[in-house]
Chains A and B, each alone.
Chain A
Amino acid sequence: MSDTTQFRVLDFDCPACASTVERALTNVDGVQHVDVHYATGRVEIEYDDSVAEPGAFAQTIENQGYTPQPA
């Protein structure tokens, strides 16, 4: 089943940084759609909950050098 989750990243310092995170999240297993908004810092992830491990999302964002917060 498809599920969605949100994070808020307050420390994006350029629009390209947001696209990097978007690409990285898209590559996570089970992720169907990702929207990362530079302006508001909102990260929206749509994923297949039988495949994806939601814990991996925050880790992926951190790996790119940004701090995810629950939204």
Chain B
Amino acid sequence: MKKQSFTQYYRKHRTAIVTATSGLLYGGGWSLGYLTGFEMASAAILVLATVVGGYDIAKTAYHEVTNRTLGIKTLVTLAAIGAIVIGEYWEAAAVVFLFSLGSYLEGRTMRKTRTALQELLEMTPDTATVRRDVELQEVPAREVEDGEIVVVKPGEKIPVDGDVVDGQSAVNQAPVTGESAPVHKADGDEVYAGTVNQEGALEVRTTGAGSDTTLERIIRRVEEAQEAQSPTESLIDRFAKYYTPAVIVLAIGAYAVTQNAILSLTLLVIGCPGALVIGPPVSIVSAIGNAARSGVLMKGGEHLERAGKIDLVAFDKTGTLTKGETTVADIEGFGIADDEVLALAATAEKKSEHHLADAIVDAARERPTAATDGGAAVAQADDTDAGRQSIPDPDDFDVVAGKGVIAHTDGTEVVVGNRALLDDRDINVPSRIADYVRKREERGETVVHVIRDGDIIGAIALRDEVREAAPSVVAALQDAGIETVMLTGDNERTAAAVAEEVGINEYRAELLPENKQTVIEAYQADGHVVAMVGDGINDAPSLATADVGIAMGAAGTDTAIETADMALMADDLDRIPYAVKLSKATRWNVLENVGLAVLTVTVLLAGVLTSYVTLALGMLVHEASVLAVILNGMRLLRH
């Protein structure tokens, strides 16, 4: 039993034990070398140190050679054997020990980078309490079927994705969305596996379990992103293809000229492109991992490197800078009752999916009395809530994109739309109405006109509150030297009012969806690297056009995650300055690592050719540079 656990311990810590033993032998042999009369013993111990430390390296080198790859382990093995052959035992032991120590430390630190994501997965509980035939059963979380009801007690982690069917609670969604504040969940709300139910018991109807949860999908995507090569990485890979053979030719040439075997072996060892090929992937994997834990999905190193160059951020107004919860702020009837204006507008807008239409229809439903007598009798399935008004269907209905709707009901034509639609139809706007519209627009509201059979009968002012975080986010970007622009389909005055409220320096108003793309292209033509922030669904084309498309509130909407280069899992604007700064830091970090690697190799090369750098010193500096780039890259995990 004891022997068994020792074997296990040895297997687990083999590299550390081997490195330490080799190091002790090396130290002993080296010290002994200073005593006269012990030269032979010293040499023997140093050879032993080389064999102990070099066995594993040589074994891998053998596999490298049989698989016809040329790796650093082959070169180190050659160098150690060469040094022993020419009697430089100290050099042989030093090279092997320093290489083992370096590899051990590199492996350990890389392990941390590689497991950063796994911590997220460990958030998901292994078992779930499922209601089966009235009884509650504890089953493995992976085996919960879609549609089954899972009971989650307060304080427990939610084991599956699903919709709340009973109970309400505050849920901490940090593992999925990165938001630190808990989110209130009640009937019909979506919950995600791995999030924490903090307050009340919840019953959840399962929509995904096991590997089919949002968290698992996020982690798969993040890994794909980490594995995708960035342009810098591909460049270095191409370079390394020529570089390594070039070093070998140089080493052979150096031997031919100087007949100095140690010199050419030293060239081989320091010529390995270690820090150069390791640096960029470590930086990018660390940055993408860090972003994922903060609820920001980055699609890959390529996008990250491009994001590092962003100098202009374009925000879509609705749902991005504003909350996207438009409500009716005011109704003004001209010659007829306000309620009648709202009721007519609601009928016209009933079949529209526009967010302004939703607000008008909702407001009409909430009104205590309806001016429409005809429609009230026709009870609609979705209008049966007590105290809510039903809204009659229009006879027909047409959308004029970016302008409004035209509908017919009870033999009259009802048009609801903006100024552009009025101009199209040559409708005259009385000054009283124009004044009302201007006053509301200057407050950042959007006004639609309601027209019955060619006469304006009223106007409805709609308000979409600015997100609390918007002004500070805009300020943070501007402080970082990034320009901000707001794009909106809204009219000039409303746009100006909202832009002023959030502190944005430039806005483009009255844009049709396709115009947003054109505006972005124009900024790109001016030499800007443009990021576009939007909801990922309506803004998909402009997100695709921008250099970096950033989708907000992407948890649960796979299309947004697919189309965007960067997806914010939560509806949290604060993540944008964070993501932009992280991208910039990553770009610098990659440059630092490449610079450090090139500098190290250049200095070492010069040192070797001028005989200042020995084999052991070369190895020490080489391994130190590899470790330095890994540690530098890992700083991004804690950015």
A residues lining the B interface (CB < 8 Å): 8, 10-17, 19-20, 23-24, 27, 37-42, 63-65
**A-B contacts besides A10-B110, A63-B63, 18 pairs, CB < 8 Å:** A10-B115, A11-B111, A13-B106, A15-B281, A16-B64, A16-B69, A16-B70, A16-B71, A17-B71, A19-B69, A20-B67, A23-B67, A39-B282, A39-B285, A40-B223, A40-B226, A41-B110, A42-B227
Residues 80 to 129 of chain B near chain A (Cβ within 8 Å): 103, 106-107, 110-111, 113-115, 117
Cα-based distance from A8 to B59 in the complex (angstroms): 21
- Among B56, B113, B281, which residue has its beta carbon within 8 angstroms of that of A65? B56
B106 contacts across to A, CB distance below 8 A: 13-14
Q: For the complex, is B274 an interface residue (Cβ under 8 Å from A)?
A: yes
Cα-based distance from A39 to B117 in the complex (angstroms): 12
Q: Is the CB of A39 within 8 A of B63?
A: no
A70 to chain B minimum Cβ distance, whole angstroms, is: 12
- Among A10, A14, A42, which residue has its beta carbon within 8 angstroms of that of B72? A14
Q: For the complex, is B372 an interface residue (Cβ under 8 Å from A)?
A: no
Residues 41 to 96 of chain B near chain A (Cβ within 8 Å): 56, 59-60, 63-64, 67-73
Q: Closest B-chain residue to A44, C-beta based? A: B227
Q: Closest B-chain residue to A37, C-beta based? A: B227
Cα-based distance from A55 to B115 in the complex (angstroms): 24
Q: For the complex, is B613 an interface residue (Cβ under 8 Å from A)?
A: no
Cα-based distance from A65 to B63 in the complex (angstroms): 9
A11 contacts across to B, CB distance below 8 A: 15, 107, 110-111
A41 contacts across to B, CB distance below 8 A: 110, 114
Q: Which 10 A-B residue pairs are closest in the complex by CB-CB distance?
A: A16-B71, A23-B67, A65-B60, A39-B281, A13-B103, A37-B227, A10-B111, A39-B285, A41-B114, A11-B107
A37 contacts across to B, CB distance below 8 A: 226-227
Cα-based distance from A63 to B64 in the complex (angstroms): 11
Q: Closest A-chain residue to B70, C-beta based? A: A16
B237 to chain A minimum Cβ distance, whole angstroms, is: 8
Q: Is the CB of A42 within 8 A of B63?
A: no
On chain B, the number of residues with a Cβ less than 8 Å from chain A's Cβ atoms is 32
Q: For the complex, is B284 an interface residue (Cβ under 8 Å from A)?
A: yes
B residues lining the A interface (CB < 8 Å): 15, 56, 59-60, 63-64, 67-73, 103, 106-107, 110-111, 113-115, 117, 223, 226-227, 274, 277-278, 281-282, 284-285
Cα-based distance from A11 to B117 in the complex (angstroms): 16
Q: Is the CB of B285 within 8 A of A40?
A: yes
B284 contacts across to A, CB distance below 8 A: 39
Most buried by B among A14, A15, A19: A14
B71 contacts across to A, CB distance below 8 A: 14, 16-17, 19-20
Cα-based distance from A66 to B96 in the complex (angstroms): 18
Q: Closest A-chain residue to B64, C-beta based? A: A20
Cα-based distance from A10 to B107 in the complex (angstroms): 7
A23 to chain B minimum Cβ distance, whole angstroms, is: 4
B226 contacts across to A, CB distance below 8 A: 37, 39-40
A39 contacts across to B, CB distance below 8 A: 113-114, 226-227, 281-282, 284-285
Most buried by B among A12, A40, A41: A40
B92 to chain A minimum Cβ distance, whole angstroms, is: 20
Cα-based distance from A23 to B281 in the complex (angstroms): 21
Cα-based distance from A13 to B100 in the complex (angstroms): 10
Cα-based distance from A10 to B68 in the complex (angstroms): 23
A28 to chain B minimum Cβ distance, whole angstroms, is: 12
Q: Is the CB of A12 within 8 A of B227?
A: no
A59 to chain B minimum Cβ distance, whole angstroms, is: 13
Cα-based distance from A12 to B106 in the complex (angstroms): 9
Q: Is the CB of A13 within 8 A of B114?
A: no
A27 contacts across to B, CB distance below 8 A: 67
Q: Is the CB of A12 within 8 A of B281?
A: no
Q: Is the CB of A23 within 8 A of B72?
A: no
Q: Closest A-chain residue to B112, C-beta based? A: A10
Q: Report if A24-B63 is in contact (Cβ < 8 Å); known contacts: A14-B274, A16-B71, A19-B69.
A: yes
B51 to chain A minimum Cβ distance, whole angstroms, is: 16
Q: Report if A40-B227 is in contact (Cβ < 8 Å); known contacts: A14-B278, A65-B63.
A: yes
Most buried by A among B56, B107, B282: B107
B19 to chain A minimum Cβ distance, whole angstroms, is: 12
Q: Closest B-chain residue to A10, C-beta based? A: B111
Cα-based distance from A24 to B67 in the complex (angstroms): 6
Q: Closest A-chain residue to B60, C-beta based? A: A65
Q: Closest A-chain residue to B109, C-beta based? A: A13
Q: Is the CB of B277 within 8 A of A64?
A: no
**Pairs A–B under 8 Å by Cβ, sample size 28:** A8-B114, A10-B110, A11-B15, A11-B107, A11-B110, A11-B111, A13-B103, A13-B110, A14-B72, A14-B106, A14-B274, A14-B277, A14-B278, A15-B277, A15-B278, A16-B72, A20-B60, A20-B64, A20-B69, A37-B227, A39-B113, A40-B114, A40-B117, A41-B114, A42-B227, A64-B60, A65-B60, A65-B63
